[in-house]
Amino acid sequence: MNVTSGEVYEYPVNSGTYYQVNAGGPFWSVSAPDIDMDVWSPIDCPCKETWAANGQPVWVAGTAYPGNYVVEHPAGSGNLYIPLESLGVTTGAGEPGVDNHWVLCNGEEPNQPSGNPCAGLNVSVWDNTTSGAVGDIYEYPANSGTYYQIIFTHEDANGGPDWVANPVEDGSADEFWVPYSCPCKETWAANGEPVWVAGTAYPGNYVVEHPAGSGNLYMPLEPLGVTTGAGEPGVDNHWVLCNGNGVNPGPCEGITTSGVWNSTTLVSVGDIYEYPVNSGMYYQATYVDSNGLIATAPGEDQDYEFWTPYSCPCKETWNVNGMPVWDATQINYPGNYVVEWPAGSGTLYLSEGGGLTGSVEPGTDGHWILCEESLEAVSDPVPIEDSLLPSIGVALTLFGILSAATFVGRTRIE
């Protein structure tokens, strides 16, 4: 072919791979782009222009897209993505910004921290020409996100300005400096009040809220921040609470127990123990031997001779934990956690002792157990003439509760 500078060609056919003719043309009888590279240069689609020309499409889940097809996601965000491979993406491809078969070509990656992690802190970078005063705050080294406050200065022997030595770069305190953290609430507000997002890396001194709307603000423990593998603030100790009351009390906060049971524990009938440790599963002793011991652990064969599963006191636990309402976006709950559902109904549900992973709506998911207090609140009154004999519906309900109770603390959804 004869080609002219600036022209764009696809090669091979239907490949979605494009080349532009280099300056200096026209050129006569040129070879293919993968042979005659003096003439050709690979070129990507112009992102925004391509998107506009195709009608500004928004990404739709379960849709196959050809190579170099540009989509916006989320709608209205201005974040444009193009398939990584020239063959495009299949119907099974995941969400742009999450699935790495998509490449951001315009806009900002979602769920990524932006701006200065210590945006609420207006400070300078310290160097050995700086003369500071006690109380001054400096960043050191430059762009490190590590801050220090001066606590002591030396007087200059020749009458010059007071001086301080370099801050130590490992972040520890010394004679002149102490490490300084960002002002928590101001930094969070200056960065747009970000809410923690799982699987996101955060730089040091970056402040996030978790859970959303709770007012609990957390900051990475280390100046280098946290990686994508870091866990949930309030659970993972690489986060430090810097504002708010922190996580709610334990799921069974309303229970006064005798501790964690083991085979050497002296037990009295009626005592309540947790077993195993940190499991959130509770048992009440119903029988002990002459030495005050129980040889059979809860959950083992014949344990029913000594133990009965014990549930949290429903209303008290719910109150202590802040009267939580079931949240469809939170699919994992610890054992014996009490939620209200629907909101404002007064109907309380208890998660089974082993905790829930991937739970769905209480009342439809059998791993949520209806609390007895709720039954009393919502059940219909029984006519006096019928009160000596419970109806079939009431009997079945009671049977269901008793059946469910025998499994509290024993089952965990995987």
pLDDT in tens, the chain (414 residues): 888 888 888 888 877 678 888 888 788 888 888 787 788 888 877 888 889 888 999 998 889 998 889 999 878 778 889 988 878 888 888 788 777 788 888 876 665 565 677 777 777 888 877 777 888 888 888 777 778 888 888 777 676 666 777 776 665 557 788 888 788 888 888 888 888 888 888 888 889 998 777 788 999 888 778 888 888 887 787 888 888 877 655 677 777 777 788 888 888 888 888 888 767 778 888 888 888 888 888 877 777 888 988 877 888 888 888 888 998 877 778 778 889 999 999 999 988 876 787 778 898 888 888 986 554 443 333 333 343 334 333 343 444 444 444 444 433 333
Domain count, the chain: 1
Q: What is the pLDDT of residue 249?
A: 59
124-125 and 137-139: which strand pairing? Answer: parallel
- The residue segments making up the domain with residue 358 are 321-407
Q: Is residue 163 part of a domain?
A: no
For the entire predicted model, the pTM comes to 0.39
Q: Is residue 336 part of a domain?
A: yes
Q: Is residue 400 part of a domain?
A: yes
Q: Is residue 92 part of a domain?
A: no
Q: Is residue 326 part of a domain?
A: yes
Q: What is the pLDDT of residue 336?
A: 82
Q: Is residue 95 part of a domain?
A: no
Contacts of residue 131, defined as CB under 8 A and 6 or more positions apart, other chains included, come to 161, 162, 163
Q: Is residue 348 part of a domain?
A: yes
Q: Is residue 310 part of a domain?
A: no
What's the rounded Cα separation, in Å, for the pair 352 and 346?
19
